[in-house]
Amino acid sequence: MAIEAKTPNRRGGKSTAAAPSRGSGSEGTVVAVLAAISVCHMLNDVIQSLIMAIYPMLKSALSLDFGQIGIITFTFQGTASLLQPVVGYYTDRYPTPYSLVLGMSSSLIGLLLMAFATNYLMVLAAAALIGMGSSVFHPESSRVARLASGGQHGLAQSVFQVGGNFGTALGPLLAAFVVLPYGQRSLAWFSVVALIAMAMLTFIGGWYGKTIKVNNGKGVSVNEMLAISSLGQSKVRRSIAILLALTFSKHFYLVSITSFYIFYLIHTFNLTVQSAQVYLFIFLGAVAAGTVIGGPIGDRIGTRRVIWWSILGVLPFTMMLPYVDLFWTAVLSVIIGVILASAFPAIVVYAQGLIPGRVGMVAGLFFGVAFGIAGIGAAVLGWVADQTSIVFVYHVCAFLPAIGLLAAFLPETAKARGRRKTGDA
pLDDT per position as a tens digit, 302-341: 777 888 788 778 899 999 999 999 999 999 999 998 888 8
Q: Return the pLDDT at 216.
A: 58
Strand spans (E) along 279-415: none
Are residues 390 and 260 in contact, defined by beta-carbon separation less than 8 angstroms?
A: yes
Residue 373, in any domain of the structure:
yes
Domain that includes residue 99, residue range: 27-213+221-409
Residue 273, in any domain of the structure:
yes
CATH number, domain at 75? Answer: 1.20.1250.20
Please give the distance of CA 404 from its chain centroid, rounded to a whole number.
19
Q: Return the pLDDT at 331.
A: 94
Q: What letter does residue 26 receive in the DSSP assignment?
A: -
How many folded domains does the chain comprise? 1
Residue 2, in any domain of the structure:
no
* Residue 14 exposed, middle or buried by CB count within 10 Å (0-12, 13-18, 19+): middle
Q: What SS3 string covers 261-304?
A: HHHHHHHHHCCCHHHHHHHHHHHHHHHHHHHHHHHHHHHHHCHH
Query: At how many degrees (to 10) do helices 273-301 and 303-313 cross?
Result: 150
Residue 11, in any domain of the structure:
no
Residue 37, in any domain of the structure:
yes
Q: Return the pLDDT at 231.
A: 63
pLDDT tens, per residue, the chain with 425 residues: 333 333 344 444 444 444 444 444 445 558 888 889 999 989 988 888 787 778 888 888 888 887 888 788 788 877 877 788 888 888 778 878 888 999 999 999 999 999 898 899 999 999 999 989 988 888 888 888 888 877 777 788 888 878 887 887 787 778 778 887 888 888 899 899 999 999 999 999 888 888 877 665 454 454 554 455 456 778 888 888 899 888 888 888 888 887 788 888 998 999 988 888 889 888 888 888 888 787 778 777 777 788 878 877 889 999 999 999 999 999 999 999 888 888 877 888 888 788 877 777 787 788 777 767 766 777 788 888 888 888 898 888 899 888 888 888 888 764 444 444 433 43
Phi and psi angles of residue 21, each rounded to the nearest 5 degrees, phi first: -125, 145
Residue 416, in any domain of the structure:
no
Residue 18, in any domain of the structure:
no
Averaged pLDDT score across all residues of the chain: 79
Residue 70, in any domain of the structure:
yes
